[in-house]
Amino acid sequence: MSNQQDTYFIPEPSKWPVLFSLALFIVFCGTASMFNYYLTNGEMASFGSHLLLLGFVAVFYMFFVWFRDVIDESLSGAYNQQVDISFRWGMGWFIFSEVMFFAAFFGALFYARVYSVPWLGGEGSGAATNEFLWPAFENTWPLLLTPDMTIDGLSTKFTEIKEVIPAFGIPAINTLILLSSGATVTFAHWALKKGQRAALCWWLFATVLLGAVFIYLQGIEYVHAYHDLGLTLNSGIYGSTFFMLTGFHGFHVTMGAIMLTVILLRCIQGHFTKENHFAFEAVAWYWHFVDVVWLGLFIFVYWL
């Protein structure tokens, strides 16, 4: 962004946004096919996993080619101060849209805990509902037993949760990991502004490593929840909100770790200067946003 010409840079028409949207659509279709048992027999059940793998390969490829084009434009000196301001506003609005995205799911959790479950338990205006539909239903959270778990002695699609994941186990460790990664990326930023290239690369490497450990531990947590605790997407409102919130957050951590890796490789090649390093700042903003969302998850999903 050393070019300070007055003319505003307009990039060439790009096909990457449309193709990236298609890649994400394939990812979500594969995920839906896997977790909702869209196809039931063994041969068909693998269709969702193959589709998900194809989607992730496409996403990673889109990251590579799209980042390549933007990096080439930046290194060519095409960007000026106006473009820098535009990028900052764009990243700010993007993070705001992500805030609204998670606010919707936190809102669903709040509605279930504060309104739906108490009404079903007979509190307030839900007394008639409780007496008519589920007179034995108790207002408890986490909701381990979903209403109509069985009908006339026959099991429904809902599965009983044996136990919830304790907050002060892997979730507490992951909280410490993400908070530490927020500190390391800040140290990396300070090193960049002081021109300390070696310290910048080491602190950024530590951030990427902490992000990878977080994702690994969350994978272990999911396997334990599914196979040992009976906590699945078919466990009613608690299971669905748990996996919706933690799963999408894990997806964001994965994307953030990929972007941090790209920034690390650029730092190793000496792409940024003390004055011009918005790409680094943008990813750091995103990473801090991921940290804040996790704090909300740890408190309201795991702890309370």
Query: For residue 157, what pLDDT is reported?
Result: 63
* Cα 197 to Cα 106: distance, rounded to the nearest angstrom: 40
Query: For residue 35, what pLDDT is reported?
Result: 67
Span 227-243, mean pLDDT?
88
Give the mean pLDDT of the chain.
86
Q: Which of 52-56, 71-75, 128-132, 151-155 has the highest mean pLDDT?
A: 52-56
Span 247-264, mean pLDDT?
93
Query: For residue 39, what pLDDT is reported?
Result: 43
Query: For residue 40, what pLDDT is reported?
Result: 46
Phi and psi angles of residue 151, each rounded to the nearest 5 degrees, phi first: -125, 115
Question: Distances in Å between the alpha carbon of 142 and those of 123, 166, 170, 182?
Answer: 17, 11, 18, 30
Q: Where are the domains of the chain?
A: 14-78, 81-303
Summarize pLDDT for 263-286 with one digit per residue, the tens.
999 999 988 888 888 999 999 999
From the candidate CATH numbers 3.40.50.300, 3.40.50.800, 1.20.120.80, 3.20.20.80, the one assigned to the domain spanning 81-303: 1.20.120.80
Summarize pLDDT for 14-62 with one digit per residue, the tens.
888 899 999 999 988 888 777 666 444 444 456 778 888 899 899 889 8
Per-residue pLDDT band for 91 (boundaries 50, 70, 90) equals: very high
Query: For residue 30, what pLDDT is reported?
Result: 85
Is the model's pLDDT at 151 over the cut of 70? no
Return the amino acid letter for 16. Answer: W
Would you put residue 37 in left (φ > 0), alpha (ψ -120 to 50) or beta? left
Span 125-154, mean pLDDT?
70
Query: For residue 84, what pLDDT is reported?
Result: 84
Summarize pLDDT for 164-193 with one digit per residue, the tens.
899 999 999 999 999 999 999 999 999 999
